[in-house]
Each structure stands twice: as structure tokens, then as C-alpha cells.
Amino acid sequence: MKSLLWVSLIAAGLGVLPPARAHHSFYAEFDGNKPVKVTGVVTKVEWQNPHIWFYLDVKGPDGSVANWGFSGGSPNQLVRRGIMKKVIQPGMTITVQGFRAKDGSNNASGGKVTFADGRSVFTASGEDKVQAEDKK
Amino acid sequence: MRESLREPVYFAGALLAVAGCASLAWMPSRLQSQTRSREPKASAPVPMSRTTDGKPNFSGIYEWPKSIGGEQCKCSATIFDRKFFGPLKPGGEPFFEPPTGDPHHDEPRDFCMPAGFPSGMLSAYPFQVFQSKDYLVLVHEFQRMTRIIPLDGRKHHEDLEPTYYGDPVGHWEGDTLVIETTNFKRWSLDDNFYNNPKESRMHSDALRTVERIRWKDKDKLSYNLTIDDPKIFAAPWSQEFQVKARPDWEATGLLEYVCQENNRCPGGKCQGN
């Protein structure tokens, strides 16, 4: 668990409302009081229902590497928002913001992904989908 | 293809309204007063395509029902607006259920259990309608839920075990398709704890729903849903939703949705990376 100590647990910076899901309640799996912000290298992408998962190798200050898993929205909803599987590929360095799994494991929701060039994409929240459609 | 279905055709509304009133005779009296009060008022005919037997053509892909200025869920799905709820029946079954700590009870969808009806109808995924003279079939992307609505005049089944999606039969009242569904098992009425983590809203096994579907304008349906649950509510109540046709989604069609495929953290316990 020491390798997790470096992880930023940002109490105020990520907003109050957790990303909501269409499959099940956010609260069933994630702790809305434990926001996380992690930067690492993508090792694997599972573009599958009911939620996409993507994994990062994250280096801690002591050099140890921990693999984190992040859960996003359903691939169906992401595709209709124009977000395809290729947006996150193994080898990319990305920063992910979300909320940690209730069981305390290296898993979290992955609501926002920021790429090395500063671009970002929301990979969860149904509300984002609605807002995007309203802008059409 | 969709455009070809949208040739404007106009029918005599008064004649169809008479036919609609006549077909109310089969409905239980508890529902008749409710549904009659919801009859669409006479207005300018809505441009719509029709099937070869002259019925409004609902075939196509749609968004899920959206509230019309109603209460919004803290999620992507639609929920019922509490301002439409009927009065609770004194001494009736509980409408609100708090979480018990057992995730199988508190969030059954987290274990890929069925959404059920009407909850699944309100899930934030599109659905496709296939229509023939004798059936209306609604296929939802979410959980690939499928509802097959007989339109051939048959009655409800008898002596079957209650189900998550109930036993529907449909008929036409003018240009409005009316679907009555019975024989549900007690289940979540809308989203489990999505709207309020402190309580889930339930329906009983006495639930009877009446859906009234009609074209509201050239690309929107009016979807009026009546909840008649005499074990919980003292009277039926209804809420009208709006459903937008999405012919632009037909090229992609419905996507596969297999909940069990990668459900990694059921009940808040994640399986290893």
C-alpha cells in the first residue's frame, strides 16, 4: 500500500458530484468522498459493456509501479458521443480523475482523461452526454 | 429509409376519436377515469407516416423518454417526477425502501439483474420499434431488453408467475397506441438509488401500467405512462414524457449490450486488475 501514498486524494478540487452511470449507481462501486488524480502509462483498454475499463502503470515517488484500473461509461454511450476506442491506446501517458473503489483497491471511476498535449475527454458521466447533445 | 416513412398523411381526427372512446370499454373502471382525462385534445393533425393498415407508423429508432420540464435524476436516466405521484394508500405496501446494506437488494443492476419495466424504459439508451398489424416490438439497447406487445386483441395471460417486465397487451384508440401491462413482481419503479442514495422507489406485484403513445409532432412521440398500483397508491397517476425519433441513428443501429461481459466491481468488490 506504500506505493499508493503518493496518489493525490483531492478533497475539494474535483467537485462534489461524482460521475453518474447508466448501468448502476455510482455509489454501488465507488466512494464519492475519495477523489483520485493519477498520471501513468496506459497498459490495457477493455472497450466492453457495461463499462469500459482502462489500466495505467503508475510510478510512485519511490520508483515502485502500481497498476490502476479505471471504469468509464458504457462503450455504447461513448460511441454515440463520438468517443471511439482509439482515443485511449496502450503506451499513452494520461492523467485520470475519478473516485476510488469502495473496496480500497487500485480501481476507480475514470470520469475525465487528460492527454499529454493538454486535451481532455470525459469518459463517463451521462450528464456530459446530454450536455454534448444539447450543444448540437 | 426513414425519410420515406415520413410522407405526410392526414386522417380525420374526429372519426378516430370516436373509435378510441369505444375501445375503452374493456378497461377496469379504476383506470378509465384516469385514461379518459388524458385523451389528447383535438388539434391540428400531426404529419406522420402510416402503415398499410392505416395505423400511425412508429417503426424507427428513438431516444429514451425524457421528462418534460420535470424532476431530473442525478444520472443519465429519466425518473418519475414526484409532483405527479398519487396519494399513498394508508397501510399500503412501502413505496420508499431504504438500502439494507445488501448490494443484491440495494443495487441489483450492479449484478446485471434486469431493469424491469417501467424502469428499463427510462434507461439512458435508445430503443427501436418494429411494428406489424399484430405486434409492436420494442427492442432496447440497455440489457437488450425486448418487449413484445400483442395487438391482436388477446387478453392477458392467467396464472403465470409475475415477471420483471410484466404481461403486455395493446390496442389502438384512434391514433394512440395503448399498452396495458400487468403481472409484475415487486421491483424498483425507476432507478435504484440513482436519484436518492437514501431510498429506492418500488412498485408492488399489483402494478398495472398503461402506456399511451402517439405522435406529438413530426419527430417526437408523446409517451404517457399511467401507474396504477392499488397496493401502494390510493389512485392511479400519470406522467407524460417526450420521446425523440432519431432516424440519424439508424445507420449505426442498436449496439450490443452484454452486462456480464466486463462487470468488474459488482457490489463494490472489484476483481483484480
Nearest to B143 by CA among B64, B241, B228, B52: B64
Write out the three cell numbers for B251.
Answer: 445507420
- Side chain identity at residue A100, one-letter code: R
What pLDDT is recorded for position A80?
A: 85
A50 to B75: CB separation less than 8 angstroms, yes or no: no
What pLDDT is recorded for position B188?
A: 92
- Side chain identity at residue A51, one-letter code: H
What pLDDT is recorded for position B195?
A: 64
The phi, psi pair for A132, rounded to 5°, reads -65, -40
Q: How does strand B208-217 pair with strand B220-228?
A: antiparallel
- Side chain identity at residue B30, one-letter code: R
Nearest to B116 by CA among B143, B80, B85: B143
Compute the distance between CA of residue B67 and CA of residue B78 in angstroms, rounded to an integer. Answer: 7
What pLDDT, in 10s, does the model give residues B165-214? Answer: 999 999 999 999 999 999 999 999 997 666 677 888 999 999 999 999 99
Between A28, A67, A79, which is nearest B267 by CB?
A: A28
pLDDT, average across residues B55-68: 95
- More confident site: B2 or B222: B222
CB B215 within 8 A of CB B221: yes
CB burial string B71-85: b at 16+ within 10 A, e below: eebbbbbbbbeeeeb
CB A88 within 8 A of CB B38: no
- Given a cut of 80, whether residue B74 has pLDDT beyond it is no
B270 to A105: CB separation less than 8 angstroms, yes or no: yes
Q: Does B123 contact A at CB distance below 8 Å?
A: yes
Q: How many CB pairs under 8 A join A and B?
A: 115
DSSP E strands in B1-102: the ranges are 60-62, 66-67, 96-97
Between B110, B112, B262, which is nearest A29 by CB?
A: B110
Write out the three cell numbers for A115.
Answer: 492527454
Write out the three cell numbers for A5.
Answer: 501514498
CB B257 within 8 A of CB A49: yes
Compute the distance between CA of residue A132 and CA of residue A4 in angstroms, rounded to an integer. Answer: 34
The pLDDT mean for chain B works out to: 85
Q: Which residues on chain B are in Cβ contact (under 8 Å) with A21?
A: 75-76
Compute the distance between CA of residue B58 and CA of residue B52 in angstroms, rounded to an integer. Answer: 13
Q: Does B112 contact A at CB distance below 8 Å?
A: yes
Between B106, B141, B262, which is nearest A76 by CB?
A: B141
A25 to B75: CB separation less than 8 angstroms, yes or no: yes
Number of H helices, E strands in chain A: 2, 7
What pLDDT is recorded for position A12?
A: 27
DSSP assigned state of B48: B
Compute the distance between CA of residue A79 and CA of residue B76 in angstroms, rounded to an integer. Answer: 15
- Residue ranges of domains in chain A: 2-134
- Given a cut of 50, whether residue B26 has pLDDT beyond it is no
- More confident site: A31 or A11: A31
Please give the C-alpha separations between residue B40 and each of A109, B43, B82, in angstroms, as whole numbers.
45, 8, 23
- More confident site: A80 or B156: B156
Q: Which residue is closest to B77 within chain A, CA to CA?
A: A22
Write out the three cell numbers for B205.
Answer: 406485484
Percentage of residues of chain B with pLDDT beyond 70: 81
pLDDT band at B22 (very low <50, low <70, confident <90, very high): very low
A21 to B75: CB separation less than 8 angstroms, yes or no: yes
Compute the distance between CA of residue B185 and CA of residue B98 in angstroms, rounded to an integer. Answer: 19
Nearest to A48 by CA among A22, A71, A25, A69: A71
What pLDDT is recorded for position A131?
A: 25
Q: Which residues on chain B are in Cβ contact (under 8 Å) with A71?
A: 264-265
The yes or no reply on domain B3-246 and CATH 2.40.128.20 is: yes
Residue B253 burial (10 A CB sphere; 0-12, 13-18, 19+)? exposed
Nearest to B122 by CA among B183, B59, B194, B172: B194
CATH architecture of A2-134: Beta Barrel (2.40)
Q: Does B197 contact A at CB distance below 8 Å?
A: yes
The pLDDT mean for chain A works out to: 76
DSSP E strands in chain A: the ranges are 30-46, 53-59, 65-71, 93-101, 107-109, 112-115, 120-122
- More confident site: B227 or B41: B227
A29 to B142: CB separation less than 8 angstroms, yes or no: no
Q: Does A84 contact B at CB distance below 8 Å?
A: no
- More confident site: A47 or A132: A47
Nearest to A128 by CA among A73, A85, A88: A73
CB A21 within 8 A of CB A78: no
Distant-in-sequence, close-in-space partners of A117: CB < 8 Å, separation ≥ 6: none
Q: Does A2 contact B at CB distance below 8 Å?
A: no
